[in-house]
Structure 1
Amino acid sequence: MLEILATIISAAITLFIILDPLLSVSMFINLTRGLSRTETLKQAGIATAVAGALMFAFLVFNDIIFSVLGIELESFKIAGGIILFILGLQIVLGLEIGGKSAHDERAGQTDGQLPAGAVRKSMAGVIIGTPIMCGPGTITTVMILGSQDGIILTALAVALSLLFIWLVLAFSSKITAILGETVIVILSKIVGLLLTAIAVHTIWSGVIGLVQLSMAGF
């Protein structure tokens, strides 16, 4: 029982880190500025629902995806780990890889370059849900965890991480007011470092798995 609980908590923490709540806070505040408390909570719910729908979809159908594409989990771990590593570097170093840096895109949009008026406000939840929270890194992690820990345990971890992310978004203005923008940025860098560490572990696990498969073939 304790082992199962530890697995769920560990997976939930991993997902929570990759969902990147700290970097989402500033952008969420900008996108929902001027909205009522009720509407802000609604947009937080939409963001969580959008991210959750994508995560559960890839969790349930990951075996089918692997089968159709004809790839091994180990290969996916390596490819996914590389993606996570790049995302982590973007957060920590503010690198621009294939577009704007993570900080510019998510947390640094204070120069007014946001969708205007009603469109901006009505789409806030969707924009935060994907690709800000649920992007390639999140999808990759969900599929890997599902294959390693099983659908049920991973589903519980996904639900727990989504609860945490909703709380962060729902109280984003208070969190920012208490911590301040500088602390948010510093914490986001730490999160990015943790993400790169998770990525290295994922890549190494994939390499070991491929080596074992190759040795078993002889």
Structure 2
Amino acid sequence: MPELFVSAFITLFVVIDPPGCAPIYAGLTKNATNAQARNMALRATAIAAVILLIFAFFGEALLSALHIELDSFRIAGGLMLFWIAFEMVFEKRTQRRTERADKISANPEVEDVSVFPMAMPMLAGPGAIAAVMLLMNEADTAAQTLEVFAALGLVLAITAIALMAAGPLIRLLGDKVEAVITRLLGVLLAALAAQYVLDGLRGAFGIDV
């Protein structure tokens, strides 16, 4: 299996975090019908895909317009991903997502949660955007670019399935199992984030760290 595909899949899966988004989505759509919940899940995933693809194609041009070097973005993106990993390990990210979801669900006027908060910022948040841009920079050939897109497509497909099966999935896994999975993924993401920072330091300072 191509190395970049594996790295991209793991990174995007951990950052987007389908197992972590599923219980939040289940709570947001508890009063919706099965058809409504399914449609919102598909719509949220599609909108997130469009947002991430825009940054995948035009993110580097945006950095150039702002006079930001890619190595600087690698370091900043790695630190951002490391912070996400820290919050995952200590359950801060899940707590914040739950609080945001509670505020949305407490408002009876809010019915469609596909755009906010699901597509943005839960699925296509700053961490996912940074990860996509970093991975696109790692792709040196057209084949490697396709690997990144394939990994993104697979993660988003898994996310859509997880959201549509959110209710049964939560009953199957339980809160404790979901917490263990989130923490394990957080540790893995921390290692990947550290690698991004090291790559950025090598490129920016020409040192071997």
Q: Which residue of 2 aligns with 1:145?
A: 135
Code of the aligned partner of 1:106: R
**Bigger CA drift: 201-210 or 150-159?**
150-159
Please state whether the residue corresponding to 1:61 is helix, strand or coil. Answer: helix
Q: Output the CA distance in 2 between the equivalents of 1:20 and 1:61.
A: 24
Tell whether the 8 Å contact from 1:51 to 1:133 is kept in structure 2 after alignment: yes
Q: 1:93 and 2:99 equivalent?
A: no
Q: Which residue of 2 aligns with 1:170?
A: 164
Tell whether the 8 Å contact from 1:31 to 1:124 is kept in structure 2 after alignment: no
| Structure 1 portions without partners, runs of 5+ | 95-100
**RMSD of aligned residue pairs (Cα, Å):** 2.2
Code of the aligned partner of 1:195: L
Distance change in 2, residues 1:110/1:86 (3 Å):
closer
Q: Which residue of 2 aligns with 1:12?
A: 9
Matches within 5 A, 1:13-162: 13-94=10-91, 101-107=92-98, 114-119=105-110, 121-149=111-139, 151-162=145-156
Tell whether the 8 Å contact from 1:52 to 1:162 is kept in structure 2 after alignment: yes
Distance change in 2, residues 1:19/1:112 (3 Å):
closer
Code of the aligned partner of 2:152: V
Q: TM-score, normalised by structure 1?
A: 0.84
Residue by residue, what CA displacement relative to the aligned partner does 1:152-208 show, whole Å, maximum 9, x if unpaired?
Answer: 332222212111111111111111111111111221111222221111111111111
Q: Output the CA distance in 2 between the equivalents of 1:104 and 1:195.
A: 18
Distance change in 2, residues 1:112/1:130 (3 Å):
closer
Q: Output the CA distance in 1 between the equivalents of 2:205 and 2:102.
A: 49
Identity value in percent:
27
Q: Which residue of 2 aligns with 1:180?
A: 174
How far off is 1:26 after superposition?
1.5
Tell whether the 8 Å contact from 2:14 to 2:189 is kept in structure 1 after alignment: yes
Please state whether the residue corresponding to 2:105 is helix, strand or coil. Answer: coil
Code of the aligned partner of 1:133: L
Q: Output the CA distance in 1 between the equivalents of 2:128 and 2:8.
A: 12
Code of the aligned partner of 1:127: P
Q: TM-score, normalised by structure 2?
A: 0.88
Please state whether the residue corresponding to 1:35 is helix, strand or coil. Answer: coil
Code of the aligned partner of 1:163: A
Q: Output the CA distance in 1 between the equivalents of 2:115 and 2:19.
A: 16
Matched length: 204
Please state whether the residue corresponding to 2:13 is helix, strand or coil. Answer: helix
How far off is 1:91 after superposition?
1.6
Tell whether the 8 Å contact from 1:15 to 1:161 is kept in structure 2 after alignment: yes
Tell whether the 8 Å contact from 1:74 to 1:207 is kept in structure 2 after alignment: yes
Tell whether the 8 Å contact from 2:101 to 2:117 is kept in structure 1 after alignment: no
